[in-house]
Amino acid sequence: MKTWHPNKRRIIFHIDMNCFYASVEMAHDTSLKGKPIAIAGNPEKRKGIIVTSSYEARAKGVKTTMPLWEAKKLCPELIVRPPRFERYRAASKKMFTILSEITPFVEPISIDEGYMDVTDINFTTHPVETAKQLQKRLLVELDLPCSIGIGPNKFLAKTASDMKKPLGITILRKRELHKTLWPLPVDQMYGIGEKTAEKLRKIQVNTIGELAERNVYDLTQLLGVNGERLKNRANGVDVSPVDPDSVNEFKSIGSSQTLPADTTSEADINQLFVALCERVEQRMKRRQVVGLSVQIMIRYHDRHTVTRSQKLVSYIEDQADILTVALELFQKHWNEEPVRLLGVTVQHIEEKSRTAKQMDLFTYEKDIKKEQLKNTIDHLSKKYGKQTFTSLKAKDNHDAQFTTSFQKDFLDDFQE
């Protein structure tokens, strides 16, 4: 068999799983295949928000973040399933394990997508054939479709993977950008959001080609250092490496969850805060890290979202500390409107071994932490009733399927 010899240019794959959550549900229940399905909060208890949907549902106009009632109006036959994030995490781990069997240079960037640097693989066939074999393997072994973009750098590979879905394989070459990329509207370029696109249009940059040709001075005046970066990308320039270790460079660990119904019940709110802080503590202990600030997120019934944080004088890692700060922030900033979703995040993360001296000086022993947590829960139980927290453990397993966050600290599970 003839060996294909790559030149010095990098060969980057971007793997993008198609309608990942919906595809995982279809893999578990094949009767859903070919039907319009959506993942949306808790469809039995609330008017949920669409998390994702199948291509059949999208063809009917169903979109991510659309209220469930609106999606049902557009597509009356829509099949709705609640999110099952543990199931999606398991599928993600299997997916990244398969990628890592091809090359050690795998960089996960979310639960359902990642980069592969295959430059130094000793190909026996053209890289496109390798991509086809990988795509087929994911489909046969996991029953999950994906699109693969191939390019000389991460930006072009990512852009290419978006060009054909589902089950697409697309190559994007620098020499073809004037035909493939430059005619597109500037807001279709990866890395450009609505606000940035609006700013660019004000200086008559309407297409990616016009961005590629605009002088650096104008762009940096408008967008700062990001202006030059975007111009480079529009010209197909991206020197960032595929970094397998970047997944470990997280600076925060958090968890968020949608409530079964919009509520002003402080008992329900506090109960959820206890569960969220417990999850955050578990993830921090797993990673052997501590944090120096706590942030909460409050999403109201009208989807208005606020975040508030507090910097601490010493590093923390225990549920009791996290819960104390989170509750104080909530009481200070809640406007008493019905709450739809809550989140807790510990930020400014550092490895525990690096902060051991400060931890010894400023933190309590474990038994004191447990007593502090017990006192907090006892206080809330007296205020809102003894049953408020008694079923927390049992409910947590049930409610885990409605967790709405997927933190980056899970993304190296496949390496374990």
Round to whole Å and give the CA distance between 145 and 174. Answer: 27
- Give the 3-state secondary structure of residue 45: coil
137: tokens are 């393997």
Residue 113 falls in the annotated catalytic set = yes
364: tokens are 């309590």
Q: Which residue has the tokens 């069997």?
A: 101
Sign of CA dihedral 333, 285, 251, 254: negative
- Give the 3-state secondary structure of residue 64: coil
On the 0-12 / 13-18 / 19+ scale of CB atoms within 10 A, 165 is middle
Q: Which helix (H) or strand (E) holds 48?
A: none
Contact in structure between 13 and 96 (CB atoms under 8 Å) = no
Contact in structure between 43 and 81 (CB atoms under 8 Å) = yes
Round to whole Å and give the CA distance between 233 and 188. Answer: 13
From the list 19, 24, 27, 88, the residue with the least C-alpha distance to 410 is: 88
For 182-228, give the DSSP string. TTSBGGGSTT--HHHHHHHHHTT--BHHHHHHS-HHHHHHHHTHHHH
Round to whole Å and give the CA distance between 219 and 217. Answer: 5
Round to whole Å and give the CA distance between 170 and 158. Answer: 10
392 conformational bin, left if phi > 0, alpha if psi -120 to 50, beta if neither: alpha
For 249, residues 6+ apart whose C-beta sits below 8 A from its C-beta are none
Round to whole Å and give the CA distance between 219 and 216. Answer: 5
> Is the previous residue joined to 185 through a cis bond, with omega within 30 degrees of 0?
no
Catalytic residue among 25, 56, 107, 113, which?
Answer: 113
Residues with a catalytic annotation lie at 113
